[in-house]
Structure 1
Amino acid sequence: MSESLDLAFHAPRVITAAGEVARCVGVRDGRVVAIEPLDAALEATHVVRLGPDEVLLPGLVDSHVHVNDPGRTEWEGFATATRAAAAGGVTTIIDMPLNSIPPTVDVAALEVKRKTAQGQCHVDVGFWGGAVPGNLSDLRELHDAGVFGFKCFLLHSGVDEFPHLEPDELADALREVRSFGALMIVHAEDSHAIDRAPHAHGERYTDFLSSRPRGAENLAIAQVIELARWTGCRVHILHLSSSDALPMIASARRDGVALTVETCPHYLSFSAEEIRDGATEFKCCPPIREAANRELIWDGLREGTIDCVVSDHSPCTPELKRLDTGDFGTAWGGVASLQLGLPAVWTEARKRGFALTDVVEWMARRPAEQAGLMRKGQIALGHDADVSVFAPDDAFVVDAAALHHRNPVTPYAGRALAGVVRRTWLGGVEIHGPDVDQDIEGAAPRGRLLRRGAA
């Protein structure tokens, strides 16, 4: 190298586009500038030598995170969420437009959110805009202001300030978004089917599951597919939990519909049969379904029908989870898991014969590609030097109180997981590890606020 390097990783195991290989990775000015054979022994100001039990991974990209800040900062916040992300090997998150007040449905609200996030973020952060009734004229302005796309609901969102779209409103929004080449991401459950289902109440998980039937999800996805087909808009299905929808998704994609799909660690880790009555920490919408359904979701990943795995981190205070009463009807629906996504998915993936390269594909490269983050999600020349050191054969038992999430509530509490994130770097600067100041007040946030097209 004609110029000196800031940082070099000597790693017997690195996940690159070529698979898992032995390489030296050189970093200068926050970017990867060299990927050489291990015996090249790159020299740099700082040299990190990985042990034989460690793998150098690209920083994960979590494109589905509810930070809730401002307005509901007691649920979560940019400082706590991004520290949790860093500890979980996640170096980029994209914040959802709802649960904060104001919701991100116009440029003024986006600027409020950016002002709130400024100086608090330990990882890089982007923002989704929201598509709600009455803001059709705001969508282009939000796009020009740098949001990564638009989220909408097809039923009540859970918060009154972010209302859902009816089918004709969704069609109008898709046509508008298509006109400037943006992406619409959809919470797909049919409101009328949910209205006709039994209402959630009490402690029995089976009653809650009946209140969010897979038919409601299937019907909404079918409708979204047809609207995407008619309008030509790029559409992304959020948090798929019903395996019944997989054949029609595969069929639509064969027909050329511009459709991508995500699922979440909790749908891959848990099953309805194991959720005890009153365990409201497991409540999410759409719900965690049966074990047979879970295995078909795994098949969807294996076959490529499902593109990526992201957290849908949606925390709240312990009081809102109704842990005292165990009432699924009144508890907030959302799973807190931002820090735990990688070990949770790896724990289950390796049981089913998947490799670590598969997990990185689902949780780093594909979410980055789907959001248009061209320098994220891979260890590749010219990409941001966002990486983590992961020990795949290490293990731990989840202690909710030890997580960086603001509130110590997660369904993973007490669960044994495989794989430990030992260190994390953002743009070539270490942001998590034994040599980093772990005091929340003392660790200087280094994350950037990202804009579409400039990230």
Structure 2
Amino acid sequence: MFDLVLKNGKIVTPERIYEGNICVKDGRIAAITSLSEEVQANETVDVGGKLVFPGAIDTHAHLNDPGYNWREDYEHGTAAAAVGGITTVVDMPLQNEPALTDGKIFDAKINKVSKNAYVDYCFWGGLVDYNLDKLIELDEKGCVAFKSFIGPVSPDYVSLTIGQVREALEILKTVDARAGFHCEDYSIIKWEEARAQRKANISWEDFLNSRPLIAEVIATKNIIELARETGTKVHICHVSHPEVAEEIRKAKQEGIDIIGETCSHYLTFSREDVIANGSLFKCAPPLREMEAVEKMWEYVEDGTLSCVSSDHSPCALEEKSEDEHGIFGAWGGISGIQNVFQVSFSEGVVKRGYSPTILARSLSEGPAKAFQLYGKKGAIEVGFDADLVVLDPDMEWEITSDSLKYVNKISAFVGLKGKGLPIMTFVRGNLVARDNEVVADKGFGELVKKIK
């Protein structure tokens, strides 16, 4: 007797789509049967031929908890994840107070957030100039990777020099840990910002031009060369342009263990949206030209960019104010954790004609393999956690402020229309969200550590 059976589903894997029943026992997938096979369960959910995906893993989210709860917190952030089909959130160490940079802070963070999480979660560890001696401790605690900036960063965190990065990679190599990087060259951006701010009238084109593509390319190449030298695993965060993706593709072909991640906003919006709409579309790296958006999908399709994330970076509305903070001072970041699945389906599958299998690869399998969660997360296979998302491919939608579960109901995605929506989300065989409403208890989500 199974605990749960999801009946009559079109099961989406990275390789194919097939019909079947998914049988769950003790939170894990216990069997996958044909539609004609009779199975007994305490609960049966007939999904009526809709698509069933492995639960999505958001590799890049800033939940701001503890410390900046007025921007976001675990209750609201994981609620948004749940209704959006995200079953595991990989939470960033910055926009936390304090930043997650040692074992004591790790323990305090778990104590704070565990009682409020609706879905499962992992922690990125901090990688800054004052915690190189704490990296192994954080790895032992359970951090799945380590986040560093080699470009400008907010005051609550620290950018590293290339020399400091090299030492950090040598340390992380000893425990086979992965380092993730915000790749934009610090000196180029700071110089270009200063040039722009000398102008009498600053425009959004000035902001975009202050973070040129060459800054992202140079920084990415530097990390690739250090990964080649040290043999350390690296992760390039929020790739914004196909020229950067091409550098990652070549590095992969050379045998470097490198992961490329992009975000739903780089697969949807362009620099013209920033110019037309201002700070709601401000992010770093910035949005690029529409031709780049189209080419980026090709790098998702071929696996070069094996992770599609939200880079959920929430803030209060007043922090986005151009009148109060100016173009360069307004908060840079896009809130997207609730919508990354539906937007990726609509933009990739419906609009551009890719197979739904592209999302099983880039939202589930790729992220799980990148952070050593595969075997527990990331696939609809016997023995894996029963993290499942039922998506109605025919359901049309428009994203509204009222539909968002965030603390601050603002997002560049508000107003976007599309087709294909997650309608049920299961975490470890338990229904956590249905029809844009959370139905699980707070605290159901669990900390997930990498499989060693």
Q: TM-score, normalized by length of structure 2?
A: 0.95
SS at match of 1:395: strand
Any residues of structure 2 matched to 1:376-391 within 5 Å, and which?
A: 376-391=377-392
Any residues of structure 2 matched to 1:44-443 within 5 Å, and which?
A: 44-52=41-49, 54-158=50-154, 160-199=155-194, 204-322=203-321, 327-350=326-349, 351-374=351-374, 375-433=376-434, 443=441
2:82–2:438 CA contact under 8 A, matched in 1: no
Change (3 A) 1:82 1:323: farther
Rounded to whole Å, the distance in 2 between the matches of 1:276 and 1:196 is 22
Rounded to whole Å, the distance in 1 between the matches of 2:437 and 2:239 is 37
1:281–1:323 CA contact under 8 A, matched in 2: no
Rounded to whole Å, the distance in 1 between the matches of 2:12 and 2:38 is 18
SS at match of 1:348: helix
Deviations 1:116-151 (A, max 9, x none): 112100000110101100211100010011110111
CA shift, 1:326, in A, is 8.4
Change (3 A) 1:208 1:437: closer
1:204–1:277 CA contact under 8 A, matched in 2: no
Change (3 A) 1:256 1:217: same
Rounded to whole Å, the distance in 2 between the matches of 1:318 and 1:330 is 13
Amino acid across the alignment from 1:60? A
SS at match of 1:339: coil
CA shift, 1:323, in A, is 5.9
Rounded to whole Å, the distance in 2 between the matches of 1:437 and 1:368 is 24
Deviations 1:276-295 (A, max 9, x none): 44521111100111111112
Match of 2:37 in 1: 40
CA shift, 1:229, in A, is 0.5
Rounded to whole Å, the distance in 1 between the matches of 2:436 and 2:236 is 40
Rounded to whole Å, the distance in 1 between the matches of 2:264 and 2:436 is 29
Deviations 1:245-299 (A, max 9, x none): 2332222222211111000000000011233445211111001111111122122
After alignment, is 145-154 or 342-351 more displaced?
342-351
1:311–1:341 CA contact under 8 A, matched in 2: yes
Change (3 A) 1:13 1:69: same
Rounded to whole Å, the distance in 1 between the matches of 2:168 and 2:310 is 26
Rounded to whole Å, the distance in 2 between the matches of 1:370 and 1:393 is 31
2:13–2:361 CA contact under 8 A, matched in 1: no
Change (3 A) 1:17 1:209: closer
Match of 1:29 in 2: 26
1:264–1:309 CA contact under 8 A, matched in 2: yes
Rounded to whole Å, the distance in 1 between the matches of 2:332 and 2:323 is 15
SS at match of 2:133: helix
Rounded to whole Å, the distance in 2 between the matches of 1:326 and 1:358 is 40
Q: How many residues align?
A: 446
Amino acid across the alignment from 1:124? D
Q: TM-score, normalized by length of structure 1?
A: 0.94
SS at match of 1:34: strand
Deviations 1:42-86 (A, max 9, x none): 22010011123x211111011111010111010000010000000
After alignment, is 80-89 or 205-214 more displaced?
205-214
1:239–1:312 CA contact under 8 A, matched in 2: yes
Q: Could you list the runs of 5+ residues in structure 2 that have no partner in the other structure?
A: none
1:75–1:317 CA contact under 8 A, matched in 2: yes
Coordinate RMSD, CA, aligned = 1.8
Amino acid across the alignment from 1:36? T
Rounded to whole Å, the distance in 2 between the matches of 1:414 and 1:325 is 25
Rounded to whole Å, the distance in 2 between the matches of 1:377 and 1:249 is 22
1:283–1:328 CA contact under 8 A, matched in 2: no
Rounded to whole Å, the distance in 1 between the matches of 2:203 and 2:36 is 59
After alignment, is 15-24 or 313-322 more displaced?
15-24
SS at match of 1:155: coil
Match of 2:10 in 1: 13
1:62–1:90 CA contact under 8 A, matched in 2: yes
2:300–2:358 CA contact under 8 A, matched in 1: no
Deviations 1:146-186 (A, max 9, x none): 1101110002221x231111010000000110111100011
Amino acid across the alignment from 2:272? E
Rounded to whole Å, the distance in 1 between the matches of 2:190 and 2:315 is 25
Rounded to whole Å, the distance in 1 between the matches of 2:246 and 2:216 is 14
Q: Could you list the runs of 5+ residues in structure 1 that have no partner in the other structure?
A: none
1:204–1:278 CA contact under 8 A, matched in 2: no
Change (3 A) 1:261 1:437: closer
Amino acid across the alignment from 1:401? D
Rounded to whole Å, the distance in 1 between the matches of 2:442 and 2:281 is 33
Amino acid across the alignment from 1:451? K
Change (3 A) 1:424 1:12: closer
Amino acid across the alignment from 2:370? Q
Rounded to whole Å, the distance in 1 between the matches of 2:442 and 2:105 is 26
2:284–2:333 CA contact under 8 A, matched in 1: yes
After alignment, is 259-268 or 322-331 more displaced?
322-331
SS at match of 1:379: coil
